[in-house]
Amino acid sequence: MIKLLRTLSFDLFKNHTKAFVLIVALRVLGPSAGLMYILFLFMGSFTIIDLNLSENTSLLFDVFVSVLFFLQHSVLIRRGVRQRLTKVIPDEFYNAFYGITSIVCLFLVMIFWQKSQFPIAIADDFSFWLLRASFFLSIIGFYWGVRSIGSFDALGVKPIRDHIYKKPDKPWQLSEKGPYRWVRHPLYLFVLILIWSCPVLTIDRLIFNIMWTFWIAIGTYLEDRDLHREFGSQYLEYSSRVPMLIPYRIPRNKAME
């Protein structure tokens, strides 16, 4: 954001007003949704808008809002869907469209989630602090993974910025730094640990954990398949050395193999 403002001129803003407004919206809403999601995982599920539903109906509604997020997140990222939608949405704005719709659906989950009043498991003192330590270590690990990528752009800002400044697209680079030496999808691994690091497990939270774990596992498999298609033999060699999601091997130096 700061780098963008430093290079901003009046003429540039005038010619790309909508693009700049979209970038600012993404930069504000994206971190806000992420922070809200972290609070949801840390504090346990909460109800912002109580719909006064029965217990069973509330659980079904929670399933519904989760599935809504899954469908948005999984369908819009498919190559065939993107090819169809880019007929009406410029390609440089598609990632931002995906980011905005993801943010909206995540807000819907957090705002309308209906909490169950019946805890089914509560951690004791030792387990409580172990889970809390795991939570914060996973946040650090997630940040480590993002830094290791170098060009993490979950919100779709980069294609818009490149379009504004007429920069050529750079090909993806396969990262084998940091946690990517241990697993091929460390960000998903750290999110899974965050999800399961809640010391108070209610029925709705158990449903949340199971559904989101299942969805992340499927998403990991599909993304891995796409990366095999994108990088070919390079990714095949990488996947032969590094586990997909569970770090059951000690990473070896390629030069020593």
User: Which pLDDT tens digit goes with each residue over 41-68?
Assistant: 998 888 889 999 999 999 999 999 999 9
DSSP symbol at 256: G
Structure confidence at residue 14 as a pLDDT band (50, 70, 90): low
Sequence-distant (6+) residues with CB within 8 A of 199 are 122, 123, 127, 128, 131, 132
Say if residue 4's pLDDT is above 60.
Answer: no
pLDDT at 49: 92
pLDDT tens across 216-231, in order?
999 999 889 988 988 8
> What b/e sequence results for 195-211 when a residue is b if at least 16 CB atoms lie within 10 Å of its CB, and e otherwise?
bbbbbebbbbbbbbbeb
Report pLDDT for 165.
72
**Spans of all domains in the chain:** 2-248
Mean pLDDT of the region 188-207:
95
DSSP 109-125: HHHH----S-EEEE--H
Q: Is the pTM of this model over 0.75?
A: yes
Q: Do residues 212 and 51 touch, judged by C-beta distance below 8 A?
A: no
Nearest to 118, CA basis, from 210, 213, 207, 214: 207
Lowest-confidence pick of 50-59, 155-164, 172-181, 221-230: 155-164
Write down the pLDDT at residue 256.
Answer: 40
Instruction: Please spell the DSSP secondary structure of 165-208, one letter per residue.
Output: TTPPPPPP----SGGGGT-S-HHHHHHHHHHT--SEEEHHHHHH
For range 204-223, the mean pLDDT: 94
Average pLDDT over residues 74-91: 85
Residues 6+ apart with CB under 8 A from 15: none
Cβ atoms of 119 and 201 closer than 8 Å: yes
- The pLDDT assigned to 3 comes to 52
Strands (E), the chain: 119-122, 200-202
Q: Has residue 167 got a pLDDT over 90? A: no
Residues 99-136 pLDDT 10s: 999 999 999 999 999 998 888 999 999 999 999 999 99
Percent of the chain past pLDDT 90, that is, above it, reads 54
Whether pLDDT at 84 is above 80: yes
pLDDT value for 204: 94
Please count the other Cβ atoms lying within 10 Å of the Cβ belonging to residue 69: 21
Neighbours of 133 (CB within 10 A): 11
Residue 177 CA to residue 145 CA, distance in Å, equals 8
**pLDDT given at position 81:** 85
More confident residue, 1 or 90: 90
CB 194 within 8 A of CB 41: yes
pLDDT of residue 24: 84
Q: Which of 52, 57, 36, 206 is nearest to 104 (CA)?
A: 36
Asked if 209 and 196 count as a contact pair (C-beta separation under 8 A), the reply is yes
**Alpha carbon distance 159, 167 (integer Å):** 9
Task: Give the distance from CA 144 to its chain's centroid.
Answer: 15
User: Which amino acid would we find at residue 160?
Assistant: I
3-state secondary structure of 17: helix
Is there a contact between 174 and 226 (Cβ–Cβ < 8 Å)? Answer: no
